[in-house]
Amino acid sequence: MVAEFRRLHQFLEEQEKRILAQMAEVEKEIAAKREAHLARLSRELSSLDSLIREMEEKLQEPASELLQDIRSFLQR
């Protein structure tokens, strides 16, 4: 009976170690994906900021120039 308990205990400890190792790998994958998404979002935000600044500059132009630039601006 004691030997059976020890075998079961050892089996459960091995399972725990295996599952903890898998969890650590999943955590690494999640962290890497999160970093990649954050980097992409940062690039997109920077691009949008540039676009907003450019639009604000265009709004300072006379209406005739603004209308001429709108077509090229919207084709981006």
Rounded CA separation 70/54 (Å): 12
- Domain positions in the chain are 2-74
Structure tokens at 35: 């970093």
Residues 22-32 have pLDDT tens digits of: 999 999 999 99
Rounded CA separation 76/68 (Å): 15
pLDDT of 71 over the 70 cut? no
Predicted TM-score of the model (pTM): 0.62
> Rounded to the nearest 5°, which phi and psi values hold at 75?
-80, -5
Length of the chain in terms of residues written: 76
Residues 9-18 have pLDDT tens digits of: 999 999 999 9
